[in-house]
Amino acid sequence: MPAHKASLSENASCGLTTVRGSASRVVLLGRQGAGKGTQAERLAAHFDVPRISTGDMFRAGADTGAELNGDLSRSMKAGELMPDVVVVEMVRARLSHTDAIETGFVMEGFPRNVAQAEALDSMLAPDGLDVAVELVVPSDLVRMRLASRRVCVDCGANYSVAQPPRSGWTCDVCGGQVVSRQDDNQAAIDRRLALYEEQSAPLIEWYRRTGRLAAVDGTGNPDTVSQNLLATVADHHARAQPNVGGLNQGGKS
């Protein structure tokens, strides 16, 4: 695993300090609506690494190596999962970029089943993943969140009916249009949550068995969740590299 050279610089958003030159390979797990997108963004900013979101990549029509055809695109809107081979190759291509190789990443939306996790392990060999963190939010709460969620079509920033952008439905970050996601309708929400229980719950067990799982309560306010998440990831780094110490160590003191 690359060394953590925790050189701290100015504060990023949300009160988290940016740590440049560190390497971090983190996967966020959790139900749809658990806050993975928001938290991945903050954690990635903190470590100064790319956030990799397979959902965003599909939505952006990224070069998947197997362009989403009409059928796949329709099935994505209905809440179905994309074929493993398509997702795995898209992730493999993304992880071959210099930023991910040199600095690491915070990933969300992938892996979502054990086969994808095994593929990820083989892509990351021999260093492997630092930690998979489950953001724990019960299903009744995520249902409420998903129904009121709104996202920026351009940058993926998250809003809600209760917390809209400052000006109309225009993204605060990039000025893009803020809308309801096409798969945030009731039928697709039901389907996605059912698939989560079926495929991703066993994945969490698998990470637990392989000693790489941590869990963070995702129900509190987003800043508290961020702090807890960061502490959890830093704790894993510290245990993996006892001589370096926690990333918080050199932080705001």
Burial class (CB in 10 A: 0-12, 13-18, 19+), 72: middle
155 binds Zn ion (CB under 5 A): yes
Q: Of ligand ADP, Zn ion, none, which one sits near residue 47, judging by CB under 5 to 8 A according to partner kind?
A: none
In whole angstroms, the minimum distance from the beta carbon of 24 to Zn ion comes to 24
DSSP assignment of 30-96 equals --TTSSHHHHHHHHHHHHT--EEEHHHHHHTT---SS---HHHHHHHHTTPPPPHHHHHHHHHHHHT
In whole angstroms, the minimum distance from the beta carbon of 76 to ligand ADP comes to 4
* Token pair recorded at residue 197: 């229980």
Segment 166 to 195, residues that bind Zn ion, using CB under 5 A = 171, 173-174, 176
Nearer to Zn ion by Cβ, of 179 and 201: the residue is 179
Q: Nearest 5 degrees, angle CA 170-CA 176-CA 182?
A: 95
Nearer to Zn ion by Cβ, of 176 and 218: the residue is 176
Binding site for ligand ADP (CB under 6 A): 32, 54-55, 58, 76, 79-82, 87, 109-112, 116, 183, 192
Q: Please report where in the chains the tokens 């439905």 appear, as a residue.
A: 169
Task: Give residues with Cβ within 8 angstroms of 81, minimum separation 6.
Answer: 112, 195, 199
In whole angstroms, the minimum distance from the beta carbon of 151 to Zn ion comes to 8
Q: Of ligand ADP, Zn ion, none, which one sits near residue 82, judging by CB under 5 to 8 A according to partner kind?
A: ligand ADP
Q: Which residues are catalytic?
A: 36, 112, 149, 181, 192
Nearer to ligand ADP by Cβ, of 60 and 240: the residue is 60
Burial class (CB in 10 A: 0-12, 13-18, 19+), 35: buried
Q: Of ligand ADP, Zn ion, none, which one sits near residue 28, judging by CB under 5 to 8 A according to partner kind?
A: none
Question: Which spans of this chain sit near Zn ion (rule: CB under 5 A)?
Answer: 152, 154-155, 157, 171, 173-174, 176
